[in-house]
Structure formats: C-alpha cells, structure tokens
Amino acid sequence: MPAKIRTIKASSVSVGDFFHFNKSLNYKGETWSKFTLKKKKSGIFKVTVFQEINKDGGTAVLWFDPIYKGKIKNVEDTDDLTNFVGSIKLKKQMHNCEWDLQKHFKNKKPEDPEFIACTLDYVPTRYDFMLKSDLSGKKYLFEGIGKFKSEGIDYLDESIT
C-alpha cells in the first residue's frame, strides 16, 4: 500500500506551554509546538495541537498552525486532563504522494518539473492522537474532528502503539 505514516512525540509537556516534538509532522517543518485542552459543559474535552510555521524567515515572532483537533468523551478523572502534564503522540497516515509532493516543493529547483507521478490507489488520511499522563499513567485517545476526522473505515480494535 502506498501509505506514509508519520509519528511525532513529545514528553514532559503541559497545557498551554511551548514544547518540542521530536520531528515535524510535515516534511522539513518546525518542531516548536503547544496545545490547548478545553472542557465543555457536556463533559467533553476538546484538544487543539499547534505547530510553529516559519512565515517570517526566522525572526522572533512565532506563527502557529493547527496540526490536529480532536475530542474525548467520558473521562473518569477530569482533573488528570485539566492539569495535564505528560507525553503526546500524534500519528498521521497519508498517501505517499502527499509526502513526496511536500519533499518536492521544499527541495524544488527552478529547472525541476511541476508535477510528480502518483498512483491512483486510495489511501485514507488518518490521525491518531494520544495523551499519556505522568501523574496517573493513563492514556487518553482522542478522535479527530473537522478536517482531522479520519477518512474511511475506523476499526475499534486498532491501537496507537
């Protein structure tokens, strides 16, 4: 299957603070990141993960772009997420052509062609996001919302390992 799976991780993170992922979700992207976690009245927690994009050529101003949005329901220990300190794991499955296009346009020289030959195989874009608490050791698996919702069929027995 022509799929590219990119997994990024960070440890010792807390809500609203800046941290570094071990690598970028996109080809040759930035690693500075932060995330927000909000509890809604219905008991649902919503998370947004932001990663720095270098819009201004490296000056001190940081621009952040959302790389994941998700939600989780039925959390037993809400204090564990409200005051979260722990590790993050974000996994994105994409068509290999999407990855090749990112590489091509990042490394493009003026004489390079404007296109890349791709297969017609269907590979759904899929996101998996997990928070693991340092305090309790519990893992919280979020489901994507909006454009980060997984395409295609989701299998309940798949894990984020």
DSSP labels, 6-56: EEEEEEEEETTS-EE-SS-SSTT---EEEEEEEE-TTS-EEEEEEEEE--S
Distance CA 84, CA 122 (A): 37
Residue 35 within any structural domain of the chain: yes
Is residue 83 one of the residues assigned to a domain? yes
In a domain, 156, yes or no: no
Residue 132: pLDDT band (50, 70, 90) is very high
Asked if residues 90 and 68 have their Cβ atoms less than 8 Å apart, the reply is: yes
> Which H/E stretch holds residue 28?
none
Task: Look at the alpha carbons of 30, 17, 87, 130 in this order and tell me if their dihedral is positive or negative.
Answer: negative
Q: Rounded to whole angstroms, how far apart are CA atoms 32 and 21?
A: 7
**How many degrees, rounded to 5, is the angle at CA 10 between CA 80 and CA 140?**
35
- pLDDT per position as a tens digit, 40-59: 888 899 999 998 876 554 44
**What mean pLDDT comes out for the span 97-118?**
72
157 domain residue, yes or no: no
Percent of the chain whose pLDDT exceeds 90? 37
Query: Which residues fall within 8 angstroms of residue 155, CB to CB, at 6 or more apart?
Result: none
Is residue 80 one of the residues assigned to a domain? yes
| Helix, strand, coil share (%) of the chain residues, nearest 5 | 10, 40, 45
Q: What is the pLDDT of residue 16?
A: 86
Stretch (H or E) spanning 88: strand 85-95
Asked if residue 43 is part of any domain, the answer here is yes
* Domains contained in the chain, number: 1
In angstroms, what CA-CA distances link 84 with 5, 40, 51, 133, 142? 27, 16, 19, 7, 15
Q: What is the mean pLDDT of the chain?
A: 82
Does residue 160 fall inside a structural domain? no
CA atoms of 82 and 36, how far apart (whole Å): 10
Residues 32-47, mean pLDDT to the nearest whole number = 90
Q: For residue 120, which amino acid is it?
A: L
Tell me which residue range forms the domain holding 39. 3-107+114-148
